[in-house]
Amino acid sequence: MPVLSTRITSINGGGSDGWDVFNRARAMIAAGIDVTELTIGEHDIRTDPAILNAMHASALNGHTGYAAVPGTNALRDAVATRLTRQTGVATNRDNVLITPGGQAALFAAHVAACSAGDTALFVDPFYATYPGSIRAAGAIPQAITTRARDRFLPQRDALALAAIGAASLLINTPNNPTGTVYPRETLDDIATVVRDHDLWLISDEVYDTQVWDGSHISPRALPRMAERTLVIGSMSKSHAMTGSRLGWIVAPEAVITPLIDLATNTTYGVPGYIQDAALFALEQGSTLEEAVAAPFRRRRMLAQQILGAQSVVGQIPSQGAMYVMLDIRATALSGESFANALLDTHHIAVMPGESFGASAAGHVRVALTVADDALAQALGTLCEFAAERATAR
Ligand code: PMP
C-alpha cells in the first residue's frame, strides 16, 4: 500500500483521542449492561416533530437536488438576522456560509485563517476535536493552559504570550467542557490581544442558547472585532438537531467568498430539505430553543444542589451549556482513573477531564443528558464513590 499523507495520519496527534471511557461505556451497553451514560453532548430528546414535518414537506416538494453551495438565500438571511440581533452588528447573507454542522465550520474556519504550518491557538480545556480539526486544516495546534481556580478562563498574560507569531485563536463560550460563560472582561482581554497581534478570532458559539447565568456575548459585537472574527454556529445543540448536520460561519464577506470556494470543492453544500427544516426552526423564534434548553437548566440546578450538600467533589460554577465540570482532586485519582473506576464499579460513565486537555486533569465532565432522577442518582453515587476514595487515601 502507498504511504498515507502525514496530514491524515497525524490528525490525532499520536496519543489517545480521549474517547476511551466513552468507547468502553458503549461496549458495555452493547453487551447488555445498564450504564448511566453521562459522556457525550447528545440530548435525551429528539428533534421536534414540527421541524421534521418541515423537512419532510420540503423533500416532498422536490428540494432534493443540489442546493445552493453557500446555503439557501432564505436560511443565510435567517442566520444573518439572528447574528444582527445578537451582536448589533449589521450582518447580511454575504456574511454567512451554511456548513454541514459546526464541526465542518471549525475545520473550514481554520483553513481560511491559517496557512500550512501556521500556529493556531486554542484554550485548554477544549472540545475534544479542536486540535484534530486544526491539524486536519494543515495548521499546528497550540494550547493556552488555564487553571481551575480561574474557572478555566484564559488570562490576558498567557494569551499575549501565546499570540506572538500565531495566526488564529479559537475560543468557545458558553464552554464545553467547563460550562463557563466568558464574562465581558475576558472577552475584552481576548479582543485586545487578537487586535494587537493581528490574529483571526474563531469564536465557537454553538451553545449560545444555553445560558443559565449572565448572558452570552459574541466577540463579533466588540469594537473592531467583526473584521477579524469568524463565528461558528450550529442547530445541533440549540434545536436538538445533532444528526441533521447544519451549522454556519458568520464572518466578513472577504472571508466568506473564498470559503464558498472551499465548500464547492469539498462538501458541495448542505441538503436543501435540511436547510428548509433549519429555516423553519429559526423562524419559530426562541420557543423551540427554550424548550430544548429547559431540561439542562433544571438539571444544572439539581446538580448544584446535590454537589452543594457534600464537600469532597468540587464544582466549577456552571453558567451554560449542557455540562458540569467536577473537581475530584480530593480523591488523588486522575480524572481518567476516576472515570474508569466509576464505570467499572457503578456503571456510570463520565468523561475524564484529561480528555479535554491537561488543564482539566483531576476533573471529570458530566453531561446533563439523562432524566432528572437518573442524574440525581448517578451524581449521588459519584459523590459517595469520591468520598470513599478520598478517605481511603
Ligand atoms: N463545538 C463544540 C464546543 C461542541 O461541543 C460541538 C459538539 N459537541 C461542536 C462544536 C460541533 O457540533 P456540530 O458539528 O454538531 O454542530
**pLDDT tens string 8-18:** 999 988 766 67
Q: State in Å: Cα 104 to ligand 1 middle.
A: 9
Cβ of 41 below 6 Å from ligand 1: yes
Band (391; pLDDT cuts 50, 70, 90): confident
Task: Output the CA angle 32-38-44, nearest 5 degrees.
Answer: 85
Residue nearest to atom 12 of ligand 1 (CA): 102
Quick one: what percent of the chain has pLDDT higher than 90?
Answer: 96
Cβ atoms 345, 331 nearer than 8 A: no
Cβ of 242 below 6 Å from ligand 1: yes
Does any domain span residue 52? no
Summary mean pLDDT of the chain: 96
Residues 38 and 90 in one domain: no
Q: State in Å: Cα 240 to ligand 1 middle.
A: 12
DSSP string, 325-356: EEE-GGGT--HHHHHHHHHHHH-EE-EEGGGG
Asked, as a colleague might, if the bond just before 177 is cis with ω within 30 of 0, I would say yes
C-alpha distance from residue 313 to each of 7, 153, 339 (Å): 41, 20, 13
Asked, as a colleague might, if the bond just before 174 is cis with ω within 30 of 0, I would say yes
Closest C-alpha among 305, 304, 307 to residue 319: 304
Cβ of 210 below 6 Å from ligand 1: no
Identify the domain boundary among 219, 252, 284.
284
Cβ of 103 below 6 Å from ligand 1: yes
Q: State in Å: Cα 236 to ligand 1 middle.
A: 7
Residue nearest to atom 8 of ligand 1 (CA): 41
DSSP string, 260-284: HHHHHTTT----HHHHHHHHHHHHT
Cβ of 48 below 6 Å from ligand 1: no
Give mean pLDDT, residues 225-231: 98
Residues 253 and 308 in one domain: no
Structural domains counted in the chain: 2
Residues 113 and 240 in one domain: yes
Residues 120 and 247 in one domain: yes
Which ligand 1 atom is at minimum distance from the Cα of 103? 14
Residues 369 and 257 in one domain: no
pLDDT in tens, 121-141: 999 999 999 999 999 999 999
Q: State in Å: Cα 102 to ligand 1 middle.
A: 6
Instruction: Give the single-character DSSP code of 1.
Output: -
Residue nearest to atom 16 of ligand 1 (CA): 102
User: Could you give the CA distance from residue 247 to residue 204 in angstroms, rounded to a whole number?
Assistant: 11
Cβ of 206 below 6 Å from ligand 1: yes
Residues 280 and 294 in one domain: no
Distance of CA 314 to the CA centre of its chain: 23
Q: State in Å: Cα 130 to ligand 1 middle.
A: 10
pLDDT at position 13: 84
Give mean pLDDT, residues 318-330: 96
Cβ atoms 327, 362 nearer than 8 A: yes
Residues of the domain holding 363: 6-46+287-391
pLDDT at position 18: 75
Residues 263 and 278 in one domain: yes
Residues 41 and 72 in one domain: no
- The domain spanning residue 223 has which CATH number? 3.40.640.10
Cβ atoms 214, 183 nearer than 8 A: yes
Among 237, 248, 274, 322, say which to mutate for ligand 1: greatest number of ligand atoms within 8 Å of CB: 237
Residue 361, number of CB atoms within 10 A of its CB:
16
Identify the domain boundary among 258, 284, 310.
284
pLDDT in tens, 91-128: 999 999 999 999 999 999 999 999 999 999 999 999 99
Among 206, 325, 369, say which to mutate for ligand 1: greatest number of ligand atoms within 8 Å of CB: 206
Does any domain span residue 59? no
Identify the domain boundary among 284, 308, 326.
284
pLDDT in tens, 135-160: 999 999 999 999 999 999 999 999 99
Residues 375 and 355 in one domain: yes
User: Could you give the CA distance from residue 138 to residue 276 in angstroms, rounded to a whole number?
Assistant: 33
Residues 279 and 138 in one domain: yes
Give mean pLDDT, residues 24-42: 95
C-alpha cell at 335: 480524572
pTM for the structure as a whole: 0.97
pLDDT at position 271: 98
Residues 181 and 321 in one domain: no
Cβ of 234 below 6 Å from ligand 1: yes
Closest C-alpha among 139, 128, 127, 192 to residue 163: 192
Q: What are the start-end ranges of the H helices in the chain?
A: 6-9, 20-30, 49-60, 73-87, 101-113, 130-136, 156-163, 184-196, 253-264, 272-283, 286-308, 335-346, 372-391
pLDDT in tens, 177-221: 999 999 999 999 999 999 999 999 999 999 999 999 999 999 999
pLDDT at position 19: 85
For 231, the 3-state DSSP assignment is strand
Residue 392 has pLDDT above 80, yes or no: no
Give mean pLDDT, residues 25-48: 95
